[in-house]
Amino acid sequence: MEEAAKPGLSVEECVRRLKRYHYAIKRLHQIFTARITAEPLYELKMGFSLHAHLCAEHVTALRKRVSEMREPPLGLEAVPDPNLAAFFDEILSAPTTEELLLGLYEKAVPVLKAALERHLRDTNPLADQPTVRICRFALLELGDMLAFGAQSITALVDSPCRERLADWLSLLDDCLAATGGLDGTETPSGNSVQRRHSAKPYQYDRVPKRDHRFPDPYNMGVNAEVFLYDEQFPPEPKTLMMFYKRLREVDVPEMMASIITETQSKPWEYYRDMTRQLWDEARHAMMGEAGFANLGIDWPAKVMINYTWSLALNTQLKPIERHAVLYFIEQGLMPKTGKRFEWEVGVASHNPLAALFQDYDWADEVLHARIGRDWYLKDFKNPQEAVRYGDECWSRVLMNWENWRQQGLTQHRNWWPDLYREACLRWGIEPNPEVLAYSTTYQTVRADLKELTGSA
């Protein structure tokens, strides 16, 4: 009764604060997404993909709560305060990974967490229970994000580096002080803030980058699909090709991040759905990684994961054209030679992990098809036109297979026999000579098995 009788927050004050949390999480979503592509470290790419998704979900919940308490226009797209904008702009524009991590996980997420905890303390838990509920859910995942961030910072930021960045970190504190705290409950400092990294508008870097575990990123020397759909080959080695295909999907978040970042003025649900798919594709990559790890295979040494697809799409196509290619590829995954087939191979292979991963990969793809219908297809006269446009956009993409070799970017080394031999050792079997001899590349056959004419 004591709790239920406390003065709490008026609806007006509650909504005012909610809009600031909403703005903060929306900006975090933007930063996590925008920094996936050019971040070389694989774990950070994956972590940012997850955290972008979590933020997108909490933004959605906060928008809904505001809409329960107010009539439109809700003012959810308004910037609550220029100093709060400067705070997030600075982190978005952080020139190094170290600054980005400190800004995100030692400044932005902690102050957001503190603001939500304060909301729980300040509000009347009976009158404002629906807000209490979403704050508690958000706090749970903000806690996960902070744990990941703390581990990343321990691994990547030493004390000299932190000292070098002390000035900039206090600039972030100044931004918060000038806006009266993230939730605007304190008296603003009245000091003006000098932007540093964000003095010039942020430039998204659409060129994907990878770390040392991707030593041959132009290698297109092993055509996974031709092998997978060849009936003469048994299912066991096909699981290796499927793990390879999954892990190679690290290029989908790199590419989808570019669509999300460079597409403005869509309804919020577009960003939420696209970010869910982005995270799913990051999960698919990690399923491939787990598949290799489970077999005891050192994938960075044995499997050459390339980035040619995200690189080509991000640098050669406009955002809508990239979405068209994505849609075109994904609508081709539903028929016979697609996700069902991959799952059947997994089941037949007696590798339970391959079967499990393909089962969920297939389920995710059903969701992605729905997202494609909702956000890509409906801008076309009919589905045929949408598919034709996707096909046309993909056919325009130049994959310079031969050029890359001539420029010395790759030798398209056939790494397959090495990987297969290693897996046979783990399985305790003799290599099958035909499987071992497989040597089809992507020079003339694309991943959707389309024959390429010309040598572009």
Give whichever of 175 and 333 is closer to Fe ion, judged by the CB atom.
333
Cβ 283 to Fe ion shortest distance, Å: 8
- Binding flag, residue 273, Fe ion (CB under 5 A): no
Give DSSP secondary structure letters for 337-406.
TTHHHHHHHHHHTT-HHHHHHHHHHHHHHHHHHHHHHHHTGGGSSSHHHHHHHHHHHHHH----HHHHHH
Q: Enumerate helices (H) and strands (E) in the chain, giving the number of each.
A: 21, 0
Rounded Cα distance, 162 and 98, in Å: 8
Provide the terminal-to-terminal Cα distance of the chain, rounded to the nearest Å: 75
Contacts of 140 (CB under 8 A, 6+ apart): none
The size of the chain, in residues, is 456
User: In angstroms, what CA-CA distances link 330 with 327, 334, 356, 447?
Assistant: 5, 7, 20, 12
- Binding flag, residue 248, Fe ion (CB under 5 A): no
Q: Which residues of 258-277 are buried (b: 16+ CB within 10 A; e: fewer)?
A: bbbbebeeeeeebbbbbbbb
Q: Which stretch binds Fe ion (CB under 5 A): 201-209, 253-261, 278-286, 392-400?
A: 278-286
Cβ 361 to Fe ion shortest distance, Å: 6
Cβ 365 to Fe ion shortest distance, Å: 5
Q: Which stretch binds Fe ion (CB under 5 A): 183-191, 209-217, 275-283, 342-350?
A: 275-283
Q: Which stretch binds Fe ion (CB under 5 A): 41-49, 246-254, 385-393, 405-413?
A: 246-254
Q: Which stretch binds Fe ion (CB under 5 A): 125-133, 261-269, 279-287, 421-429?
A: 279-287
| 265: region left, alpha or beta (phi > 0 left; psi from -120 to 50 alpha) | left
Rounded Cα distance, 93 and 86, in Å: 10
Rounded Cα distance, 77 and 441, in Å: 48
When binding is defined by CB under 5 A, the residue of 307, 368, 412, 447 that contacts Fe ion is 368
Name residue 251's amino acid: D
- Binding flag, residue 281, Fe ion (CB under 5 A): yes
Q: What is the DSSP letter of 317?
A: S
Cβ 329 to Fe ion shortest distance, Å: 8
- Binding flag, residue 251, Fe ion (CB under 5 A): no
Binding mask 82-121 for Fe ion (x = CB under 5 A): ----------------------------------------
Q: Which stretch binds Fe ion (CB under 5 A): 9-17, 228-236, 276-284, 349-357?
A: 276-284
Give whichever of 249 and 273 is closer to Fe ion, judged by the CB atom.
249
Q: Which stretch binds Fe ion (CB under 5 A): 5-13, 122-130, 169-177, 241-249?
A: 241-249
CA torsion, ordered 362, 365, 367, 369, to nearest 10 deg? -140
When binding is defined by CB under 5 A, the residue of 20, 284, 302, 339 that contacts Fe ion is 284
Give whichever of 279 and 438 is closer to Fe ion, judged by the CB atom.
279
Cβ 50 to Fe ion shortest distance, Å: 15
Cβ 193 to Fe ion shortest distance, Å: 42
Among candidates 321, 330, 325, 322, which has minimal Cα distance to 281? 330
Give whichever of 152 and 258 is closer to Fe ion, judged by the CB atom.
258
Give whichever of 102 and 371 is closer to Fe ion, judged by the CB atom.
371
- Binding flag, residue 322, Fe ion (CB under 5 A): no
Give whichever of 25 and 287 is closer to Fe ion, judged by the CB atom.
287
Token representation of residue 83: 């100093």
Q: Which stretch binds Fe ion (CB under 5 A): 210-218, 235-243, 360-368, 399-407?
A: 360-368
Rounded Cα distance, 15 and 129, in Å: 14
446 burial level (CB within 10 Å; 0-12, 13-18, 19+): middle
How many residues touch Fe ion under the rule CB under 5 A: the total is 4
Give whichever of 123 and 258 is closer to Fe ion, judged by the CB atom.
258
Cβ 273 to Fe ion shortest distance, Å: 12
Give whichever of 279 and 420 is closer to Fe ion, judged by the CB atom.
279
Give whichever of 250 and 317 is closer to Fe ion, judged by the CB atom.
250
Cβ 368 to Fe ion shortest distance, Å: 4
- Binding flag, residue 342, Fe ion (CB under 5 A): no
Tell me if 349 sits within 8 A of 238, measured CB to CB: yes
Give whichever of 104 and 247 is closer to Fe ion, judged by the CB atom.
247
Q: How many CB atoms lie within 10 A of CB 207?
A: 13
Contact residues for Fe ion, defined by CB under 5 A: 249, 281, 284, 368
